[in-house]
Amino acid sequence: MVKEEFGFGMLFAGVLTFSLLLLILFLFFKMLDTVYLSWFKRPAWVHFYLYKNKLSESQKAILRKNSNFYNRLSSAGKSRFEHRLQCFLSDKEFISRQDFVLSDKHRLLVGATAVMLTFGMRKYILPILEKIIIYPKEFYSTIGERYHKGEFNPKLKALVLSWEDFEEGFNIEDDNLNLGIHEFTHAIHLNSINRSDTASTVFSDGFSELLRLMRNEDLVADIKNSGFIRDYAFTNEFEFLAVVVENFIESPSEFKRQFPSLYKKIQQMFNFRFAGY
Ligand SMILES: [Zn+2]
């Protein structure tokens, strides 16, 4: 009887010690992560998966045929991309409008745009976004009371796209016009506000630094005079970010050459080297 009680006591003490050790280890790594983030302005690690989801062969074939970003990744990068895309797609509800017939290709290419943009971030699901609504063409928006090609509505947690314009932006990769990149940048930006996870902190701190940089009137004048970034960027700070990210993804080398300080801030926010990977 005494022996049994002693055994239980030992077991309890062992479990308690082990739990405490785990907690200390967890707090230690969390502290290291925070220190690393504040020193280097980027996460100590981005990808870590105990189990990786996979796409079907037909889904991978769609990516191979359509996504240059996916094709340029290493085989390890491809498997991370596939895992993230699978998780992203299963988290979002896709809705079609005006008899648009949704297929796997539509879902994959829209999701691939989000996963590409967030590939340098630890968190990529974007809880602010629940629904992706696709129209065949431009649609009448009650928000702006005019026809839109796309919009992100944080109240409805919905990203709305005209497929015709999304596809054009997706296929033409060097004209600095990309509807998917533009709207997902709005979603990532709004998702980062008031969140304290690593990805959101890197993004929102970088955005604050970007706004400070843009107080330099000479730089703003140079950007406006260059014609490199379209005028719509100067509508407000949200549109500025969404437009410059289109340039950042589609003309990275030119962007880096013309406006290195601005380029560096965007690269810091997304934690990814799109120019040269
Ligand atoms: Zn916009």
| Higher local confidence (pLDDT), 6 or 93 | 93
pLDDT value at position 185? 96
pLDDT value at position 78? 94
Residue 276, pLDDT above cutoff 60: no
Q: How confident is the model at residue 4 (pLDDT cuts 50, 70, 90)?
A: low
Residue 254, pLDDT above cutoff 50: yes
Q: Which residue has the tokens 């010690």?
A: 17
pLDDT in tens, 129-150: 999 999 999 888 777 778 888 8
Residue 1, pLDDT above cutoff 60: no
Q: Give Rg (Cα) of the chain.
A: 22
* Distance (Å) from CA 239 to ligand 1 centroid: 5
Chain mean position to CA 216: 27
DSSP class of 146: E
* Distance (Å) from CA 242 to ligand 1 centroid: 6
What pTM was estimated for this model as a whole? 0.85
Q: Residues lining ligand 1 (ion), CB within 5 A? A: 239, 242
Q: What are phi and psi of 146, to 5 degrees?
A: -160, 175
Q: Which residue has the tokens 């062969």?
A: 57
pLDDT value at position 174? 82
* Distance (Å) from CA 139 to ligand 1 centroid: 15
Helix axis angle, 104-117 to 75-91, nearest 10°: 110
* Distance (Å) from CA 146 to ligand 1 centroid: 14
Q: How confident is the model at residue 275 (pLDDT cuts 50, 70, 90)?
A: low
3-state helix, strand, coil in the chain (%, to 5): 60, 10, 30
pLDDT value at position 92? 96
Residue 76, pLDDT above cutoff 60: yes
Low-confidence winner among 1-10, 122-131, 140-149 (lowest mean pLDDT): 1-10
* Distance (Å) from CA 177 to ligand 1 centroid: 12
pLDDT in tens, 158-208: 999 999 999 988 888 888 889 999 999 999 999 999 788 888 888 888 899
pLDDT value at position 260? 92
Residue 2, pLDDT above cutoff 70: no
